Amino acid sequence: MKMLNKILTITIALFLFISCEVEDGENLNGADTTSISSDISRGELGDAIGGVFSDMRQRLGTQVDAMSVVGREYWRIASSDPRWTGDLLTGVLDDNTFYTTTPYAGRYATVKDINLILDGLDNTTADFSEVEKAATRGLLNTIKAHEFLMVLNMQFENGIRTDVSDSDNLGGFNAYDESLAILIDILNSAAEDLDSGGEAFPFPIPAGFEGFGTPSTFNGFNKALAARIAAYQGDYPEVLSYLGDSFLDLEGDLAIGAYFTFSLTGADLANPLFFAQNSTVANVRIAHPTFISEAEADDDRLEKAPIRNEPLSNAGLTGAYDVFVYKSNIDPVGIIRNEELVLLNAEANHITNPSEAINSINIVRNAAGLPDYSGGSAPSDLVEEILQQRRYSLFAEGGHRWIDLRRFGRLDELPLDRTGDNTVTQFPTPQNENR
């Protein structure tokens, strides 16, 4: 049986809306997916959208940890599960275990949620205007592209399925480059819908998307994702085009962006990437020693990895610095931030407009308490500097280090800490996902 056929049906409002009654008496705690897909009501739509935003966070911790560990950003140590310091560092990955299957299933579960809502929107007899439908489609398809990208980032050359609207008749796998092109097409189509979506969404937007609460401003998030994908394609003119319509602000707060948010209320989720400082081997994230040793002096971003009271040793690994990007279990986790966009601007300009690339580099360096860049302006020099700044600016946020070294053909630069350790290029396709 295919993995996607085993994904549970939509879990609408599971985390954001508890015991809520909606239009026509539908109780979404026991979601009737037929009701959603066959004729979604106005009340159901708001709760269903809330469920999508909530489900985007499922297995986020597992995915970020897995990608960060193989990228040697940090070591994930759990005394109850040696696979974190075994499989992921030796490169012998299992196609039927949690670090492979659960992020994969979680992302596709969100896509299934989205497809059910889109079906319901097509079939609705409620009084949605065409403008409201366009706004809703634009938002949902933007999120769908994000979820597909999350899968593709792990699967890489294995490719992914993007035609999954009929779980009984799944489309085939698309190769990596083809998948990126499909995701750009999804985002471009979504952007057209957002452009036609009027001045407001017909449902509330969660707090993590503050600043993106209208179709027009949400389009800035859409364009930011498109810029990221275009960079993965190596299409720098398109990166610049998308950045021009995104929320990039070279003079603005680098923290501005879209975030996953968490809380301890009801059945909501806590931040899965938070561990208290000086945690034990039961559950801890230890910054890779090179994150400290290869940093420039006085880089404020080293605050993301404070020194422990005592070094920790486990499985032949010893580290003295915690990962402490998130200071509490309700801290938000960035989806995409202005800081990444500034660095994408640097990357997109590093060949054709090095002075502009250096300007963007200096924005990030200065924000981290560092002086202006003083290296060369050749593309090879600027790539080195951009990768360095991305390493420290995006540390522990989403596996960026691994993705960056892979796309520049530099995975062999990752440190191997023990005899028998190896690098990982991609995660295996889950065993139950028949090809």
pLDDT at site 80: 94
Complete DSSP assignment for 160-222? EE---SSTTS---EEPHHHHHHHHHHHHHHHHHHHHTSTT--SS---GGGTT--SHHHHHHHH
Distance between CA atoms of 363 and 250, rounded to whole angstroms? 7
pLDDT at site 13: 36
Distance between CA atoms of 125 and 140, rounded to whole angstroms? 20
Q: Which residues contact 317 (CB under 8 A, 6 or more apart)?
A: 75, 77, 85, 286, 417, 418
Distance between CA atoms of 345 and 199, rounded to whole angstroms? 29
**pTM for the whole thing?**
0.93
> Could you say which residues of the chain have pLDDT below 50?
1-31
State CA 203 to chain mean position distance.
23
pLDDT at site 14: 36
pLDDT at site 16: 35
pLDDT at site 266: 86
Which tokens hold the place of 203? 């449902």
pLDDT at site 18: 29
